[in-house]
Each structure stands twice: as structure tokens, then as C-alpha cells.
Chains A and B, each alone.
Chain A
Amino acid sequence: MLSFFRDGFYQDLLILLIVTIIVGAVFSQGIAWAIDTYFGDTLDGMIGEYGEYDLVLHIRDEAKEAALRELERIGDQSFPGYKLNQTLTIAGQANFFFGLPAEFRTKEVLESITSYFGAVPGLNGYTLMVEPSVLIRGVHPSVRQELREQLEDLPGVKFTVRDGANLVIVLDSEDSVPQVTKQVQSLLKQYQILELRFPMGFEVDTQLVGDQALAILANQLGAKNRYENVTSAEYGEDLDAFLKTLVEMRDFLTSYASKVLITPDPQVRLAVGERILFAEPSDSKEEIIVEVTGVFGELIEGMIVQGQPVQSTDKLVQSGYRYLGDGSLGEYVGEVTIENERYRLAYAIDESLRLLEELEELAVQASEAVANGEAVLTTFQEALMQLEVLQVQMHQLNEGIAQGDSKASGEQFLVSLLLNGLFQTLAQAAIKTGEGSLDSLQNLDIEEMRQSLLGISEQIANVQAIDVAAIIQQIGFVRDTLPDLRDEEIGQSIRLINTYLGGQVIPGERIQILVRGSHLDEKELETLFRSELDNPYLHTYSTSVGMVNPDARGEIFRILKEVRSIVAGMLSIIFTLVVLVLDHATIFSTLKFLRSCEKPIKRRFLRIFDPLFLLGGVVGSIILTSVYYLSRAQIPLVTLPVVLLLGFGLGVLVVVFAERFSPVHSMEVMAGQSLGLSNVQIMREVVIPPSRPGLMNLLNRWKQQF
């Protein structure tokens, strides 16, 4: 195969390789540079040049026109010489870049942005982008002021601005950025937040335990002044609330679920987690499975995890059988009692509703009864007065009869006898009931009775004034809104909540200790704290008091640079493949044809490791590696050996399919051979001219004679 190149074609190949590499590098680099420049310019157009703008105001899209007018007004009034630019609208939010004139780029102005721009219509917030600056994110409140003082003493720092939890360090010049960044990082390393986290369920007195932790650190490591309890309640409040809610929810569900009590047979032992089948009467269609949740001597509690008992306010008592894992039944375990407070509550509500309805009716009827009572009393009083008049008249009549008054007639005498008989009957009845005489009727206190009836009437009126209908409606609403949960759903939910609360170590309470000076190993301290605080479940973490954030613009340009490198890398690979297919496939297919005319290879090694594959692989590797590195390409994870291998693979691939990519005109080659042409002449005059257009074809035109 080497003889093919020996008579001069190696020079052509060498020139081709060099030109290919140069063109490839220029092509890949050029396209990548064009992309880089395009995006860079686009970016500058969007966010301005370095230091041109100081803040981005995020405005709701629908208010952007009004906001623009207001921003112009604020600019004209407060910051003459300002710059304003509206850029992209993202997710319904328009972004306005606002540049402050140099004289207004002060700590006071930058910390009062809200007072200047707070009234801008549709304002959703703002982002400071003062340049040159270094941003520290998430500065711990305990060191914020201390850090600011130190940072403002650093050379190159103009001032610092607090932006929420972040700290913006405004610099004198762009050149100071690397140096200040380094110093800030070094400064932050002098602090450490040591966090002690307790598992869920621990009610920790953060002050007390914090002080204990400080004492432990001071005793074990000395330098008492290095440590400070900076536990801040602001962290984790949401989580606390959530966990408390979960606990309450669990308690509610527990009380809402059916109560299951198991009275075990003396020989039976049950453990938490075991399952028991509740043999309910035959009218129940589904199995009820109970899980043991607590064993307290002879008292065993359980929870229904499958099925639903019949709706009854009475206790359900049935035999229980051990429910085995494979679904089969085991031995009798004892009596299982199920009580359902949920059903009782529903029953009580229904009864209350009935009572209220009855009460309303009762009040109406009572009111009518009182009115009737009053009428009876009035009639009774009138009758009593007439009786008194009659009694006086009778007395006069009796006296007249006794004195032999001639005026008294026989009829008067008869009436007198009748009335005497009547009064005697009344007197006897009064004697029988214990009354002394007939005068007791006169002793009845009609007025008092009337007053009593009046009092009752008022009370009935008060009852009637109560809005019973509203009470009924609300109680009905309460009844309707009671959770419609099956016992198995309740049981499963309780189990899930318990798993979450008990099984997971969720940061519930935590203590934060600020450590100054050298860094402490939190893992070593974890062992110490666990032992000293007698809590094997606590965890210790270490966090920074702040994080230096890469400059946003610098970050974008760094990403653009990465994109450029990746694009260059991809283009290098594509270029290599194209060149191999257009140019080198022709050479490989010619070599394959020439070899087919030669004696067959006898060496087994050469038959397996075809030298042509080696040639293709080497050519591919040389082109790809050179183009890749000359074009300053860089694809993540693609290292030099990977590039070499990739090039080799592409070369071998093209050798395998060379005849398909660039078929050689074998008869023309054979004609050239028979006419005594050299290999280089055959390539230049016979093979390359009709081959695919490529660099080789182009370069060959200078050497081609026909």
C-alpha cells in the first residue's frame, strides 16, 4: 500500500492534509466566532454595554406603557441624564433597564430604589446590576453589618449596597473585580455557620440548647469568643407550621376513625403491626382488617386498614382472627370491639336538628297557651267579683228573712235557700281541700299569676326571637362538610403521616452557631454534639455566611464562550467527516481497488488489522485533532484521547464505506495502469478530476494536465 504513495502522491496528500487542517480550523473558528459575535452584539443590544445600566425593573406587560411614562418622569425629575431601555418581555413581564448618571450612583440612591421606583405602575420588582461590582448572595444576617464594614475597607471597593439577602460590592473599576473577588472569598472563609438540626418532634429551646452547644464548643475547642449563637427563627417557620399542621391532622384523623380495642385471648400475644380480621356479621360485604397500633398490657389498640364496618352508633363486638401475610386466616386472637365516634357525631347532629325543629314549634304553642291562660284569669277575676256582689246581696236577703221583712216574697225565699245550699257545698269542698273557708278563693293572687304568665310569655318571645332556622342551616352545613372518609382511608393516611413524621429526619428545630476563624469539621462535631447533648438523632451541617456570585454579564459571556467552543468542536467534527467523505474516500476506494488486483495478503495479522483502516484512522485523527485544537474547540467531556479516537473512528468509518461515498472508475484506472502511468499520474489525471468536488479536487487543478 505504501508503494502507492511512494511515487509522488505522498506530497499531494501532505499538501492536502495541511490545507485541510488550515481551512478546517479557519472554517470552524470563523463560524464559531461569527456566532459568538452575533450573540455578543445581540446581548449588548439587550442589556447594554458594561456599566451602562444599573438596574432592571420588572414590570407587568399590560402596564408597560404607563410604566414607561412614569419612569421617564422619575428620570427627568430625580436623575437628569438617566438612560432607559426597554428590552425583552419574558413570561408576561417587561424589563426596563435604567442607567443612573454617575453622580447618582451612590450607596444612598441604590439603597432607596424602592422609594424612587416603588410607585411605578405594574412594578413586580427590580434587580440591581451595577457594574463593576461583585455580588455576595445569601449573606447571613448575623454577619451582614460586620462584613459590610470589612468589605468597604478593601482596596478597590467604593461602597456596598444591601439588596435583600444579598450584598452588592460596588467597585472603582472593572480591573479590581478579580482581586476583590479573591479577597471577598478569603474574607467569607473566615466565617462558618454551624447548624445543628434536630429530627422532627423535638421541641428544642433554641436559646438553651444553643448555649449548651456553645459551652460544648468552648470546653472542647477553647477560644470561647469564636462562637456565637445566631439561631434565627425566620428560617424554618414554614416547615414548623407544616409539621404542626400534620400532627394536628393526624390527631383529628385518629379521633375521627373508628376506635378499635382488642381483648386478646390469654394465650395469644399480639405485636404492633400485626393484622387481625374482624369477623363482622354476614350482612357486611367486605373484609375488615385491623392493624395493631399499640399494646398496653391487656389493652390492645388497633386501626382499620381495610374495609368499612357497618354504620352503627353501638359498639360492634366480634371475634378476631390473625390475618396472615398471604391473605389466609390464622388462629382466634380474641374479641375485637369497634366503636365509631364519627357515626355517633353524625347521629347527634341529626338529633340536634330534630330538637331544634321541635323547639321552634313548641315555642309557638307555648305562646298560644300563655295567651289563653291570661284570658282564663280575666274571666275568673270577673266571676269572682260577681260572686262577691251576690254574696253581699244574699247576706242582705238572709238578714231580711230573719227580721220578717214583709217585702221578701216567696221566690226570694226560694232563691235564698238554693244559694245557701250552694255556699254550704262550696264551704264543704273548701274544708276537704284544707282551706279554712270560702274566703280562700278571694285569697288567690290573680295579679301575681298574671305577672308570672307575662314572664313566661316574654321568655317564649325570646325563644322565638332566636334564629333557629340559621342554627339548623349551619348545623346541617357542619354535618354535610364532615370528611367523607372510609376507615381504611383514614388508617392509611394516619400510617403515611406517621411514616413522614417519625421515619424521616426533617429539619424541625435547628440551632445556628456562627464560628469565626478557622473552619471546623462538622462531621467530627456531630459525634461530639450527639454525645454531649444526648441526642443520637441530631445532624450537624456547615454552611457559608454568603456565596460570591459570578458576575451575570461575565457569566453570560463565559457561557457564550463555551457555546463558541462547543460549536467549533461540532463544526470540526462535521468538517472532518465532510473532508473525509469528499476527498479521502476517493483515495481509500482507489487503494481498495488497486489492492484487489494484487496478490492476496497472506499474513493473518494484516488480514485482521487492515492497514487501510489504520491509514484511514490516522488521517481522521490527524485532521480532527488538528482542526479541533486550532479552532480552540472544547466540548465538555471530549478530551484529547477522545478527539483522537473520534477522528480515528471517523476515518475507519469512511474507509469501510469508501466505495459508496466515492466510487472509483476502475476501468479508467486499469486503462491508466496499462498505459504505464504512475500512481500519482493516475490519481491526478484519472481518479481525482471526476471525483466529488472538494479540497483535493480543487488543489489537483494546478497539477492536472488534461
Chain B
Amino acid sequence: MLDIKGLHKHYGKVIALDEVDLQVHKGETVVIMGPSGCGKSTLIRCVNRLTEPDGGAIYFNGQNVLGLNSVELQGLRRNMGFVFQQFNLIARLTILENVMFHLVLGGMDRDEAIVLAKEALAKVGLESTWERRPHELSGGQQQRVGIARALVTNPELMLWDEPTASLDPILVGEVLEVMEDLVKNTGTTMVIVTHEVSFALRVAQRVVFMDQGRIVEEGSPQKVLENPQSEIAQLYKKLLAS
């Protein structure tokens, strides 16, 4: 479904992605892990071209993502849900509007959009906060709104960019619960960037370990997380264990 070949990206002299190859199959849940600054977020942002890679190729359902014009790219993005670390909600809109506004702007009837938005919010456990503004919600609730917004279009691919990194430990649980539920019940293909090892062990079908812009190890969660081969993954395991 998603085929990344030789992806390259640098910021000035810093190499963020160094010839990365990755394939993700339909319905698969891939968890990308690694130390901070290893290129995890850059990798998934390049997938929907929120960040433009310098080189390489990305194919989504056989379509060359890097060759798309702006209109085609917009269509592609509608088919890829993206959950941000900082939630990225529109501050001036209500919760319901945040979830439905892109549906309406995409041409959907407003009432139909409202129904879909409410369903999406219900899926993440938010049935009664529709008219509130984002700043009136807790961080966990805001992230669940972000998830609902990504889900409402029923995308083929969900990209998660450290969705719990901005939350305190108490709120992390509620978001991970929602995510786990979605992974198990929707069957959507998911690429998740996270540091949550236990979560990865529970939900990932494959774990990809990155370091310095390269994939250093990948395989089943047990293999990569419990019996790592690469030095960085071993060090990472030790640090997490301690």
C-alpha cells in the first residue's frame, strides 16, 4: 500500500532522512521508534508531503506521491488521516466544527457532515463537548478531537506523529486506549510514531527502529523491542527499562 524508496531529506547540513526504504501493507500497523531527532516525524510528514523530501520516491496505492500536483495532493491528503503531537486544532472553531469543517469545504452537505462528525467524536468518547472550544478541553480530550478529525473521512492510511508526547502520564492512557481500540476495530492501515513501548508491543504488527535518519532495525515487536540487534535499539531498551 505504501512504498517508500530511498527517501532523503536534510535540513541545512543535518541529514534527517538518509536513503530510507519502507513498505507498509494494507491493514498493517507499523510503529516507528527511535531516539529523538532520528527522523521519525520527518518520515511520516514526507508521506503526505507536509514536508517535502529532497529525493527518493513514495508510492501510495501505486501512485507516485511526489509527482502529484497540488489538486491531486489535496485528494491524497484527504485519504490519509494525520494526528499531530500538538493536536493542531483550529482554536476559533468548536469541537464539532473542527471535526466537520474540512468535510464541508470538501463539498459535503453540512448536515451530513455534522452526522459524520458526531459519529467520529462518539468513537473517541466525546459525545457531549461539541460546542466547546479546544481551549476548554483537557489535553487528552483535545487529542481525541484530533483523532476524530483524522478519522471522520475514513482514510485508508492513518499517520500518527507521537500523539501522546504532549500529554501528561494520566492523559496518555485515555489516548492510547482510543488508539488501541481503533487499531483493533477499524482495520485501517496505521503508521504510528511513538515512544510507548508497551503500546507498541500490544498493537504493532511491525516495529521499525530508526537512528540518525536510517532504519537500523525492523521486525516484530518482540524481536525488535525485547531482543534488539542494533546497538542503539539495545541502548534504547536499557534506558526504557531503567
Q: Which of A6, A673, A689 has the most CB of B within 10 A?
A: A673
B84, CB-defined interface residue at 8 Å: yes
- B236 within 8 Å of A (CB atoms): no
In whole angstroms, what is the CA distance A677 to B153 when docked?
13
Asked whether A689 lies within 8 Å of B77 as measured between CB atoms, the reply is no
> What's the Cα separation between A622 and B75 when bound, in Å?
36
Task: For the complex formed, measure the closest distance between the CB of A3 and the CB atoms of chain B, giving whole angstroms.
Answer: 6
Tell me if A73 counts as interface (CB < 8 A to partner B): no
The answer for the CA separation of A7 and B70 in the assembled complex, in Å, is: 9
Q: Decide if A690 touches B92 in the complex (CB within 8 Å).
A: yes
Would A676 and B93 count as touching, CB distance under 8 A?
A: no
Task: Say if the beta carbon of A598 comes within 8 Å of chain B.
Answer: yes
Q: How far apart are the CA atoms of A6 and B70 in the complex, in Å? A: 10
- Nearest CB in chain B to that of A666: its residue: B88
Contact among B54, B70, B89, B106 with A671 in the assembled complex (CB-CB below 8 Å): B89
Instruction: State which of A671, A689, A705 has its C-beta within 8 Å of the C-beta of B105.
Output: A705
A676 touches B97 (CB 8 A): no
Whether the pair A706, B93 counts as a contact (CB closer than 8 A) is: yes
| A-chain residues with CB within 8 Å of residue B76 when the two chains form the complex | 676
* A 676-706 to B, binary, CB cutoff 8 A, 1 in contact else 0: 1111010001100110000000000000011
Does the CB pair A670–B84 fall under 8 Å? yes
Contacts A/B (CB < 8 Å), 14 sampled? A7-B70, A7-B71, A667-B86, A670-B50, A670-B84, A671-B89, A674-B77, A674-B88, A675-B77, A677-B105, A678-B74, A705-B101, A705-B105, A706-B97
Tell me which residues from 347 to 361 in chain A have a Cβ below 8 Å from any Cβ of chain B: none
| A105, CB-defined interface residue at 8 Å | no
State A686–B91 Cα separation when bound (angstroms): 9
Contact (Cβ within 8 A) A685 B105: yes
A-side contacts of B133, CB under 8 Å:
none
- A107 near B: Cβ within 8 Å? no
* Residues of chain B with a CB closer than 8 A to A407's CB: none
B92's contact among A7, A599, A689, by CB below 8 Å, is which?
A689
Q: Judging by beta carbons under 8 Å apart, are B92 and A674 in contact?
A: no
- Check A376 for interface membership: any CB of B closer than 8 A: no
A599 to B46, CA, bound (A): 11
CB-CB contacts below 8 Å: B37-96 with A = 48, 50-52, 54, 70-71, 74-78, 80, 82, 84, 86, 88-93
Q: Mark B133-163, 1 if CB is under 8 A from A, else 0.
A: 0000000000000000100010000000000
Interface size on B (CB < 8 Å)?
30
Residues in A with CB closer than 8 Å to B195 are none
Taking A671-B149, A675-B153, A705-B104 as given, write out 14 further A-B residue pairs in contact, using a Cβ cutoff of 8 Å, ordered by the A residue number: A6-B70, A597-B50, A598-B52, A668-B90, A668-B91, A670-B50, A670-B88, A671-B84, A674-B88, A675-B77, A675-B78, A676-B76, A676-B77, A706-B104
Q: Which residues of B contact A (CB under 8 A)?
A: 48, 50-52, 54, 70-71, 74-78, 80, 82, 84, 86, 88-93, 97, 101-102, 104-106, 149, 153
How long is the Cα–Cα vector from A676 to B104 in the complex, in angstroms?
A: 12
A-B interface, 10 closest residue pairs, ranked by CB to CB distance from nearest = A676-B78, A676-B77, A671-B88, A674-B82, A675-B102, A667-B88, A676-B74, A599-B52, A706-B101, A681-B105
Q: Which of B82, B88, B92 has its CB near the most chain A CB atoms (within 10 A)?
A: B88
Known A599-B54, A667-B86; judge A676-B75 contact (CB<8 A).
yes
Chain B residues in 8 Å Cβ range of A665: 91
CB distance from B193 to the nearest CB of A (A): 14
**How far is the CB of B91 from the nearest CB of chain A, in Å?**
7
A681 to B74, CA, bound (A): 11
Task: List, in ascending order, chain A residues with CB within 8 A of B75's CB.
Answer: 676
Contact residue among B52, B86, B149 (Cβ-Cβ distance under 8 Å from A675): B149
Tell me the smallest distance from the CB of A670 to a CB of chain B, in Å: 6
Inter-chain contacts of A686 with B (CB < 8 A): 90
Chain A nearest Cβ from B38, distance in angstroms? 20
Residues of A within 8 A of B80 (CB): 674
Residue of B71, B78, B90 with most chain A CB atoms under a 10 A cut-off: B90
CB closest residue in chain A, given B85: A667
Docked-complex contact A674 and B50, CB < 8 angstroms:
yes
Among B51, B70, B105, find the residue whose CB has the most chain A CB atoms closer than 10 A: B105
Residue from A667, A689, A706 in contact with B84 in the complex, judged by beta carbons closer than 8 Å: A667
Q: A597-B52, A674-B82 are in contact. Are A668 and B88 (CB under 8 A)?
A: yes
Chain B residues with Cβ under 8 A from A675's Cβ?
77-78, 82, 102, 149, 153
Nearest-CB distance from B134 to chain A (Å)? 10
Check B78–A673 contact: CB distance below 8 A.
no
A672 to B105, CA, bound (A): 11
Minimum CB–CB distance for A665 against chain B, Å: 7
Whole-angstrom distance from the CB of A678 to the nearest CB of chain B? 6
Interface string of A491-531 (1 = CB under 8 A from B): 00000000000000000000000000000000000000000
